[in-house]
Structure 1
């Protein structure tokens, strides 16, 4: 999948985490349906991405078992990275999925969501002053942060800044951690932070770095029956322009890869 970057300069590492505070309102099912319709039925042109900045050499990974604090600090500080795969969204009344391409540079990021065979397109792009959301046939929306952008566009609050760290298999820094557990090899098995419960059934390795192949994030609003579940199936990781294409899978739990990973709609 070609990932066309836009002019988004938003340094997650230097700002507060964006994703972990979801406000589940009655408009959520309608908003989710709107997103899926846009993804599956709309078409939008994609402008070429700016040239990539030269990434520094990939740092050596500390021992994840014996030096966890240093490991997560260095991994969290890596500012050139990219993930490709699928994103599944499920609520108590609706579900859907989209292809995901998230590319990050020190002062730029672009998240591209698309439907099957490239149909439809939603872009979330930003810089240090604003973030934009582009949808086919719709005016481009702008906000100061990705959270506010999602709140204004969809009526619900999604923690994009925390996902910057969670998707790497580490807690978001400078926020309390309610609970976490590790696998026997030192990788993160589960994490509870900022009202979200995350689990990491499977990993892959990239030059000594253990990177999630599957992330499940759940949120339930206090005192409400409604909840939301995000499932990331990551097929390819890049750190500092080093790809995991040739990396061998790293078994981090009893969960095994299966064909059901590519079918995210309505998954439990």
Structure 2
């Protein structure tokens, strides 16, 4: 074996050793819906208000300190972006308008006329009551899963769940407080 061949084999072995699995810590999947610290969902949304009815696609990324909710109407029309950064600043962008504040529900009400309790929905999306107030929960007698949750004047109805990394999470739900109604069909969940 020549010196050049030996060097080539050593280099190949060194490169393949560097391309093995990462040795850093691996975060185990959450064991309950309340243990989910970060999540992302996407799917279809239908929103009904006093004067309007909107449908489209949504993508929602949530972690303990920040979130980003994007709603895009049919054919990419009517995009609405609602987000909160690490400093707690909430930004609402729609049409050519950008507004900032500290409470996402207040921004939606002031700018779009929508009643939508964003902070509570971050829990309701996972089939949980928000910890800020009392809630009445009705479970399905056959599955034991929540099928209705009433909290802060809102009725949340769950009609389908999906298995996500061993957890059953909502796939189809309605959040209503007449005349406001939001229907969500979640096509994809990513959880940590």
Same fold (TM over 0.5): yes
C-alpha distance in 2 between matches for 1:94 and 1:155: 10
Residue 180 of structure 1 aligns with which residue? 137
Shift of 1:148: 1.7
Aligned residues of 1:55 and 1:80 also touching (Cα < 8 A): no
Contact 2:114–2:180 under 8 Å retained in 1: no
2:57 to 81, 84, 99: 99
Alpha-carbon deviations, 1:211-256, whole Å to 9, x = none? Answer: 1111111103xxxxxx11110011111112xxxxxxxxxxxxxxxx
Between 1:117-126 and 1:93-102, the stretch displaced more is: 117-126
By percentage of residues, which structure has more strand? 2
Offset from partner CA, 1:119-158 (integer Å, 9 cap, x none): 44221111243100112322x1011110121122123432
CA contact (8 A) 2:44 2:56 kept: yes
The TM-score, its normalising length taken from structure 1, stands at: 0.57
Report the counterpart of residue 231 of structure 1 in structure 2. Answer: 183
Gaps of 5+ in 1: 1-53, 62-74, 221-226, 241-268
205, 210, 235: which is aligned to 2:168? Answer: 210
Q: Which runs of 5+ in 2 are unaligned?
A: 1-24
Aligned to 2:110: 152
Task: Quote how far apart the aligned CAs of 1:106 are.
Answer: 2.8
Q: Does 1:198 align with 2:156?
A: yes
**Offset of residue 85 of structure 1:** 0.5
Whether 2:122 is the aligned partner of 1:164: answer: yes
Counterpart check, 1:123 vs 2:81? yes
Aligned-partner Cα distance in 2 for 1:154–1:91? 10
Aligned length: 166
- Is residue 86 of structure 2 the alignment partner of residue 133 of structure 1? no
RMSD, matched Cα: 2.0
Alpha-carbon distance in 2 for matches of 1:77, 1:60: 6
Cα distance between partner residues in 1 of 2:116 and 2:49 = 13
Higher RCO, 1 or 2 (CA under 8 Å, sep at least 6)?
Answer: 1
What's 1:49 paired with?
none
Give the secondary structure class of the aligned counterpart of 1:56: coil
TM-score (norm 2): 0.79
